[in-house]
Amino acid sequence: MTYQNFSLNQLQDIDAAHHLHPFTDHKDLRGAGSRMITRADGPFIYDSEGKQILDGMAGLWCVNVGYGRHELAEAAYEQMKELPYYNSFFRCTTPTPVLLSKKLAEVAPAHINQVFYGSSGSEANDTALRLVRHYWALEGKPEKNIIISRHNAYHGSTVAGTSLGGMSAMQSQLGGAVPNIVHVMMPYAFELAEPGESDHDFGIRAAKAIEDAILEAGPENVAAFIGEPIMGAGGVKIPPASYWPEVQRICRKYDVLLMLDEVITGYGRTGAWFAAQSMGIEPDTITTAKALTSGYQPLSALLVGDRIASALVEKGGEFFHGYTYSGHPVACAVALANLEIIEKEGLIERVRDETGPYFNKALKERIEGHPIVGEVRSFGLMGAIEIVKDKESRARFPDEGTAAVAVRDHAIANGMMLRATGDTMILSPPLIWTRETIDLAIERIAKALDLAERDLRK
């Protein structure tokens, strides 16, 4: 059965009859019908009408090597023929997760040498939560189990991911979060800095909120702090340079583990393998997924630092946790081939030295001056555009989110896929973008801003 035998309308009807989409208002979807993406190549996706759209989001922050990579399809095909599946429970393993673990230990910060696999970022964060609590129990301190996170953080959609995350709408449907998780302010200067407060001082104040939470709970009860180096789904919120060094200092001072969620920032997006390296952070765990396979296969890897890993080995005792697909041989084969492409094509260096700086300059010079833009910011190939009604006061348009959705809809109609989160436009393109691709994107975004402004000021 191939989908080509069905018309777009037929596929939309079947979709409406049988398919519940993630993060979707289904009443709304039934009215509008879904957008059908049928193929993709390089930086472009194509819908069922053949319309070409430049993908400013790399799918969902994941397709770092771009679309149409036959090497990845071949890696999967060869592995499926040889050994499509076997597990890594009960003292077994298969070759590809072994080799991938070695590769990940090579590219991760020096003190990180062990890997635990899952199929999604959410699963990896579930593992991380359980692992840090298990660590403190092994150390004879089971009461040290509170995890500090941040408002508006995104750590996935499972019960553990939602509990760790700080999205109030998600939490409101949880009906009971995992206990002992507390949330503090985010390092979001655009909205939270006091008038006249420098970026540096704001970063220190946002880090101090973590120290305050540790002291309130009692350091002897706090297991870890978890954070995205740059908050992604929350709106590409880039902390001031003062923030992470201060967070690191505070965690060390109170012997609190530092967990980084690099599901978005991992594998080149910030111009290094991991944001930990771009920002000089030394975490105890790094959660990764998405670009580990560039989205060609579902796979996540929790990178585990030596401190936790040695406790597992030295103290022993089973860690009662794992998934059928932990270390899936096909997903790991695709990850190995994907990391090889990233290395062979110098994509990380390109982001660091060329396209990252060019992207930032293009946003600053050609987008920030727009009358409905309050701020642009970027780090590597991750960017945000704040939509405002009034540049000076930074007042937003009425009905939160409406303005950004207007920009997004005009952008998509003009062949540019980007995402709206609240009143922030976000961008996270494939790392294969060149200066020319960036120019094309900027041109299309500028046009969408003009058209949205015309509608919004009516």
Give me the residues that bind ligand PMP (CB under 6 A), please: 120-122, 125, 154-156, 161, 228, 232-233, 261, 263-264, 289
Residue given tokens 């070759």 in the structure block: 95
Smallest distance, Å, CB 48 to ligand PMP? 25
- Is the Cβ of residue 121 or residue 383 nearer to ligand PMP in the bound state? 121
Smallest distance, Å, CB 120 to ligand PMP? 3
- Is the Cβ of residue 264 or residue 311 nearer to ligand PMP in the bound state? 264
Smallest distance, Å, CB 124 to ligand PMP? 7
* Antiparallel, parallel or unpaired: β 52-55 and 416-417: parallel
310 phi/psi in degrees, rounded to 5: -65, -35
Smallest distance, Å, CB 211 to ligand PMP? 23
Smallest distance, Å, CB 289 to ligand PMP? 5
Distances (CA, A) of 326 to 117, 124, 269, 284: 5, 10, 25, 20
- Is the Cβ of residue 379 or residue 397 nearer to ligand PMP in the bound state? 379
Q: In the bound complex, which residue of the shown chain has the CB atom lying closest to ligand PMP?
A: 121
- Is the Cβ of residue 69 or residue 237 nearer to ligand PMP in the bound state? 237
Smallest distance, Å, CB 398 to ligand PMP? 29
71 phi/psi in degrees, rounded to 5: -55, -35
Q: How far apart are CA 415 and CA 56, in angstroms?
A: 10
Smallest distance, Å, CB 123 to ligand PMP? 7
Smallest distance, Å, CB 70 to ligand PMP? 24
Smallest distance, Å, CB 20 to ligand PMP? 16
- Is the Cβ of residue 290 or residue 377 nearer to ligand PMP in the bound state? 290
- Is the Cβ of residue 262 or residue 453 nearer to ligand PMP in the bound state? 262
- Is the Cβ of residue 100 or residue 291 nearer to ligand PMP in the bound state? 291
Q: Spell 304-331 as b/e; 16+ CB within 10 A means b.
A: bbeebbebbeeeeeeeeeebebbbbbbb
- Is the Cβ of residue 164 or residue 406 nearer to ligand PMP in the bound state? 164
Smallest distance, Å, CB 155 to ligand PMP? 5
- Is the Cβ of residue 121 or residue 429 nearer to ligand PMP in the bound state? 121
- Is the Cβ of residue 76 or residue 289 nearer to ligand PMP in the bound state? 289
- Is the Cβ of residue 265 or residue 437 nearer to ligand PMP in the bound state? 265
3-state secondary structure string, the chain?
CCHHHCCHHHHHHHHHHHCCCCCCCHHHHHHHCCCCEEEEEECEEEECCCCEEEECCHHHHCCCCCECCHHHHHHHHHHHHHCCCCCCCCCCCCHHHHHHHHHHHHHCCCCEEEEEEECCHHHHHHHHHHHHHHHHHHCCCCCCCEEEEECCCCCCCCHHHHHHCCCHHHHHCCCCCCCCEEEECCCCHHHHCCCCCCHHHHHHHHHHHHHHHHHHHCHHHEEEEEECCCECCCCCECCCCCHHHHHHHHHHHCCCEEEEECCCCCCCCCCCCCHHHHHCCCCCEEEECHHHCCCCCCCEEEEEEHHHHHHHHHHCCCCCCCCCCCCCHHHHHHHHHHHHHHHHCCHHHHHHHHHHHHHHHHHHHHCCCCCCEEEEEEECCEEEEEECCCCCCCCCCCCCCHHHHHHHHHHHHCCEECEEECCEEEECCCCCCCHHHHHHHHHHHHHHHHHHHHHHCC
- Is the Cβ of residue 232 or residue 240 nearer to ligand PMP in the bound state? 232
First to last CA, the chain: 48
Smallest distance, Å, CB 298 to ligand PMP? 7
Smallest distance, Å, CB 77 to ligand PMP? 24
